[in-house]
Amino acid sequence: MYKRVYNSDTIIRLSDNASIPADESNSDYVKFLADVAADPDCVTDADVADEPRRLVPKSTILSRLTDQQLDAALRLMSVRQKERWRVPDKPSVYFDDPEIIAVLKAIGADPDMVMAK
């Protein structure tokens, strides 16, 4: 049995969890193709849970907050949280970041709206 990887040509062989790239010079991939030809049900699609976590640009979050909400958020954040927010090499945060969600709720912002695509 095999499983497709979300948003990738890679296949996972479930018997040993081996990652098989889509490369016809790879003997495992050739075997995968033969197995699928013999039994199309031997491969399953990727789970939704396999989808990479979505990132939200910090600039998007800022644009969705009022000045009052932003002031309140900065007052609530610890020094570590503020520095984490300001770090220049991380321009985005995960949409489900529990610290960000907690701050948004505390300032009366709707996390689903602020973190939406």
Question: Which is nearest to 94 in space by CA: 59, 69, 57?
Answer: 57
Is 2:14 a contact under the CB 8 Å cutoff? yes
- The structural domains of the chain, with segments of one domain joined by +, span 2-49, 55-114
Looking at the chain, the whole-number percentage of residues with pLDDT higher than 70 is 94
| pLDDT for the residue 65 | 97
| pLDDT for the residue 105 | 95
Q: How is the chain classified by DSSP, letter by letter?
A: -EEEPTTSS-EEETTTTEEE-S-TTSHHHHHHHHHHHH-GGGEEPPPGGGSPPPEEEHHHHHHTS-HHHHHHHHHHS-HHHHHHHH-TT--EEETT-HHHHHHHHHTT--HHHHT--
Residue 3 has pLDDT above 60, yes or no: yes
Q: pLDDT, tens digit, for every residue of 78-116?
A: 998 899 889 999 999 988 888 899 999 999 999 999 999
Residue 21 has pLDDT above 80, yes or no: yes
Residue 49 has pLDDT above 70, yes or no: no
Of the listed ranges 15-19, 28-32, 75-79, 101-105, the one predicted with least confidence: 15-19
Confidence of residue 44 (pLDDT cuts 50, 70, 90): confident
